[in-house]
Structure 1
Amino acid sequence: MKKIKPLIIAHRGESYDAPENTLASINLAWQRGAEAVEIDVHLSKDNNVIVIHDASTKRVSGKSGRIKNLTLDEIKNLDVGSWKNEKYKNEKIPTLEEVLKTIPPNKKLIIEIKSGVKILPFLKIEIERANLKPNQIEIISFSYASVKNAKLILQEHKILLLADLDYNSYTQLVSPPVEKLIEKVKKANLDGLNVWAGKILTKDFTQKVKSKGLLLYVWTVNDFEKAKELISWGIDGITTDRANWMREKLL
């Protein structure tokens, strides 16, 4: 298969067709040739690293409950597949350990930390136990404390800061400024940024990040023309709900 530049990242697995952040979605992404899969993790009441986007189980299971207040056994009793399609009925919320076992050779898993620094010791244990190559696991988070501390304990892995850009129509300035983001990334010895690919993101922003030797990933791009524009700017990674479709369009 022809290698695509940039990295096409399957957002929560092949989530356009299968329930997000499940083994069904993740395995479907691998089966379709995904180079990388992005997942989200929270810490359970009994300190298991759980793969789910929201802090609550309500949206994907229909039953209220916060991951931090639930044990693994309680979490495993939930059906998180039926909301997407009846054929995924009784699909379970996976642990990070289960997901790590699915990663094919030379493929990447990008882990977004959702529950703060307290998850880091348990995350480190799971990553080391999986015995994968360092370049197969990358860490991202909106929490600066999380990525800063992750880099201290997982030095061989790429760690990127997530940032949601905003535009002030009164001042006509982007917030946070790209210079400030670069400063934060450099200070923590991080490997790059992962930003929203909306209209606020510009070629100038991209070039400023790239000129400092940093990686720049974007999320979430489901439009082919937008993806082509981003590629022309030199973006390193594109996160999409339709990874297989996007990759085939780019071939």
Structure 2
Amino acid sequence: MTTVLALSRLTGDVLRSLRDHLRPLIACHLFFTLLASGLLLPAAGWALAHLLARLERPLVSHAAVLEALLTPIGLGWLLALLALAFLVLYLQQAGLTLVAVRPRDHHLKLAVDALWTCLRRLPSLSGLALLQVGSQLALLLPVALAVLVLHDRLLGDLDPDYLRQVRPPALWHFLATAAPAVLGWALAAAALYTRWHLALPVLILEGATPRRALARSARLTRGRGHGIAAAILVLLAALLALPLAATALFDAAFTPLLARLPERPALLMPAMLGYVSAYTLVALAATFVGIAANALLGACLYLRLAHREPRPPTPPPGAHPGRLAWGVELGVIAIAVTQAWLMLQAGEIRERVDIVAHRGSSRAAPENSLAAIERAVREGADLVEVDARLTADEAVVLHHDRSLARLAGDARRIAALDRAALTALRLTGPRGGASRVAGLDEALTRVRGRAGLMIELKGEPGREARLVARVGEVLAAEARARRRCRDRAADGVRRAACGDPRVMRRVALASLSYPTLSEIAERLPAARRILLAQLTLRGALPRRGFDILALRHNRVDAAAVRRADRHGYALYAWTVNDPARMSRLIDLGVDGIITDRPGRLRALLAERHRLGDGALMLVKLHNWLRQ
């Protein structure tokens, strides 16, 4: 009960301090936000571009990024970026703390004094950030290395899709073995964070050195760790709840009002501008409240434990905002209106999206099977994506994983078996469905005159070039078969069913590997090339060598769409099955969506086509709020 009462009083002290010092707190917050956007982001981008230039290789997957970061250059860049990020954060927290604890009779003088004190204490703040962040990294490093070693030994040879879908005993063994180490690290890191929680207020208010600030924080918090941890968790929960509550409020209370407006641009656009401006103001306010509350929590705890004072003193009666407050408030409103205007200006309605069936209609039939391909074509897919591998006798078959473990319970690899042996096996699929391993030649026959094919090349190490060559031979054979079919056809309908003998017009070859794309360009210059990427980093993605970038859907944003338009390549998003996310990506302007459910995407596009422009703008607004 005492802890609950103390927590309640502490929450009240934080809120009253926020109210008493609101305007100078806003001024400091905006200053440091501008500092972060003007210093941290450009510096990080420059350093990353320099790093990638030194590495001289593209990074489009998480594994490649991790490998790059584990190099001496990569570790140096990561540590420098962390140091800079935390330094800006510490500067901001120090400024907010000074604003609250040292009130003056003039807000402008208070804000300027706080900023000047922070800059004078910059070396000490840098030392404190180095000690605290370095200590946390020292705790994390051995645990991270141990988990990586465990993963390599227990799961290194298993396919990720097999682990995710089958969840074999080896996965549970790994999790059970790694969990105690991860839990131990989490508890140790939380204890250290709680113990040193007051180091920043001690350093900035008492002028202590970084080491003495840490030691004094440890003395002040001794025996009170559980209460401080509870306060921090309550604050964290509030920070997470604020933006969610704001979105839910606008979605429930105000979005329906817009839907009732007539579709007249003279009325609808100003209403949407006001709506988005108000939402942006609420979002900015929620961000500010979270950052300021974190600083005030430390200040209130410090005053209570070090000086027996419940909270920072209330400003003198004569305090007044002056021109600073008006300038800050007008600046915030200008930012909100500008963001709203840019958002609405980006509201171009683009409804033409390629439907790409991921491994066929793989939620309705076994992936990569002829049944899945047939189902995808019937559901309206423009392209059917399949995975191509070489067998022991160099046939090109369709299978995603290296081995048959996930779909057949057989640990043997595709590359170790010939086509006849693979054809004899039965693969399992959703809803108890079964299939056999199909050949690329069969898939090409199924889509003739009906859909295109996106072929992802899954080459074994050392056999990538041979896979490209064999795929080229299969495509050439299909072109000859289509020409023979058209020569024998009696009428135009039957000729159309034979498919276009210019096969490359309806086929695209995809890979995660730049060398493989280069091999495709050399051997099959007429083929469209698709680069598959989990992420893109500044300076890590050459803008040539592919026609389409297929990017993981949670990495697709407006900037990625603008880059694609600027550099002249198409942008696909993978793999998306949720209609709300599909709608959001359509609104962003992607050129294609790769999905396990092509029928669902086709139905969504048909539904959107039935809407008027005003209704579509409301859909876009709703999607933006959900995002």
What TM-score, normalized to structure 2? 0.36
Which shows bigger deviation, 238-247 or 115-124? 115-124
Match of 1:216 in 2: 571
Match of 1:96 in 2: 440
Distance apart, 1:106 and its partner CA: 5.3
| Percent identity between the two aligned chains | 30
Amino acid at match of 2:575: T
- Taking the TM superposition and a 5 Å limit, the aligned residue runs for 1:2-81 are 5-81=352-428
Query: Within 2, Cα distance between the matches of 1:227 and 1:210?
Result: 20
Match of 2:431 in 1: 85
Amino acid at match of 2:530: L
The partner residue of 1:119 within 454, 461, 467 is 467
Match of 1:162 in 2: 532
Query: Within 2, Cα distance between the matches of 1:102 and 1:113?
Result: 19
Query: Within 1, Cα distance between the matches of 2:592 and 2:476?
Result: 25
Amino acid at match of 1:248: A
Matched residue SS, 1:218: strand
Matched residue SS, 1:217: strand
Question: Aligned pairs, how many?
Answer: 230
Query: Within 2, Cα distance between the matches of 1:144 and 1:46?
Result: 26
Distance apart, 1:179 and its partner CA: 4.3
**Contact 1:45/1:71, CA 8 A, preserved across alignment:** yes
Matched residue SS, 2:384: strand
**Contact 2:561/2:590, CA 8 A, preserved across alignment:** yes
Could you list the runs of 5+ residues in structure 1 that have no partner in the other structure?
Answer: 166-175
> Per-residue displacement from partner, 1:162-182 (whole Å, max 9, x unpaired)?
1111xxxxxxxxxx415431x
- Asked if residue 177 in structure 1 is aligned to residue 532 in structure 2, the reply is no
The partner residue of 1:107 within 451, 456, 480 is 451
Structure whose residues are more often helix by fraction:
2
Match of 1:170 in 2: none
Query: Within 2, Cα distance between the matches of 1:219 and 1:27?
Result: 21
**Structure ID, larger Rg:** 2
Matched residue SS, 1:128: helix
**Contact 2:386/2:456, CA 8 A, preserved across alignment:** yes
Matched residue SS, 2:571: strand
Structure 2 vs 1, CA of residues 146 and 24 (structure 1 numbering), >3 Å: closer, same or farther? Answer: same
**Contact 1:37/1:110, CA 8 A, preserved across alignment:** yes
Which shows bigger deviation, 8-17 or 24-33? 24-33
Query: Within 2, Cα distance between the matches of 1:207 and 1:8?
Result: 21
Distance apart, 1:23 and its partner CA: 0.5
The partner residue of 2:595 within 240, 244, 249 is 240
Structure 2 vs 1, CA of residues 179 and 233 (structure 1 numbering), >3 Å: closer, same or farther? Answer: farther
Distance apart, 1:34 and its partner CA: 1.8
The partner residue of 1:197 within 536, 544, 553 is 553
Amino acid at match of 1:138: A
Matched residue SS, 2:362: coil
**Contact 2:357/2:598, CA 8 A, preserved across alignment:** yes
Distance apart, 1:125 and its partner CA: 0.3
Query: Within 1, Cα distance between the matches of 2:580 and 2:430?
Result: 27
**Contact 1:44/1:70, CA 8 A, preserved across alignment:** yes
Amino acid at match of 2:568: G
**Contact 2:380/2:598, CA 8 A, preserved across alignment:** no
Query: Within 2, Cα distance between the matches of 1:96 and 1:79?
Result: 18
Distance apart, 1:234 and its partner CA: 1.8
Matched residue SS, 2:386: strand
**Contact 1:114/1:141, CA 8 A, preserved across alignment:** yes
Matched residue SS, 1:162: strand
**Contact 1:30/1:104, CA 8 A, preserved across alignment:** no
What TM-score, normalized to structure 1? 0.87
Query: Within 2, Cα distance between the matches of 1:246 and 1:33?
Result: 9
Distance apart, 1:102 and its partner CA: 0.5
Query: Within 2, Cα distance between the matches of 1:135 and 1:68?
Result: 29
